[in-house]
Homo-oligomer: A and B are copies of this chain.
């Protein structure tokens, strides 16, 4: 599908069928998310793919939407809750390895990252990292729609409970947004046939 068609086709599904999304499509969506842009390329977030049904039931109880268990797949986007020297070191090592360059050649980049990131408060890091996660979310939504896979991004959940159930704090992460994948139940989803509503372009864009 063309991007514009994909964007018009997608909506936040309220009611899913019981059909499962094939694993290769889920992987394609995750991989597109992984490839998306991120500040300085550092990717300060992870995507939790929740497959354990018991865990999903617990998460369902900590959220306000039945899609958490009714959809085929559940992804939880979780952002770094603080910056650590280790993250920067790991990233520099990855770049050196992937590009086959000596680690010392990255010193100016490393210094700049350290200057910019290590001075931030935990809250500033989390806000910044959350925004990066939302670039990934935006990409995941397009990737899913391109594959004719339906999805629902959701902010209505108890993030502290999600973090506890998924053990995210110990991993230095905080949940920020969830995304379910599956197939719309067109007959039973009241939203399925409603017209997409978006601000007109001349209101959305301010020309200066």
Pick the residue among B10, B195, B198 that contacts A43 (CB under 8 A).
B198
Pick the residue among B28, B37, B43, B52 that contacts A153 (CB under 8 A).
B37
Contacts A94-B197, A99-B194; is A204 near B134 (CB within 8 Å)?
no
Contact B146 A3 (CB under 8 A): yes
State the copy count for this chain.
Answer: 2
A34 to chain B: closest residue by CB: B204
Bound form: Cα–Cα A10–B38 in Å? 12
Contact B28 A7 (CB under 8 A): no
User: A182 near B: Cβ within 8 Å?
Assistant: no
Taking the closest CB of chain B, its distance from the CB of A126, in whole angstroms, is: 10
A130 to chain B: closest residue by CB: B131
Contact B51 A37 (CB under 8 A): no
Contact B51 A207 (CB under 8 A): yes
Bound form: Cα–Cα A86–B26 in Å? 40
Bound form: Cα–Cα A12–B52 in Å? 37
A153 to chain B: closest residue by CB: B37
A48 to chain B: closest residue by CB: B206
Bound form: Cα–Cα A180–B34 in Å? 22
Bound form: Cα–Cα A138–B37 in Å? 7
A137 to chain B: closest residue by CB: B135
Q: Which of A4, A50, A176 has the most CB of B within 10 A?
A: A4
Bound form: Cα–Cα A51–B137 in Å? 29
Contact A37 B52 (CB under 8 A): no
Contact B12 A32 (CB under 8 A): no
| Chain A residues with a Cβ under 8 A of chain B | 3-4, 7-8, 10, 12, 27-28, 30-37, 39, 41, 43, 46-52, 55, 78, 94-95, 98-99, 127-128, 130-132, 134-139, 141-143, 146, 153, 155, 166, 171, 176-177, 194-199, 201, 204-208
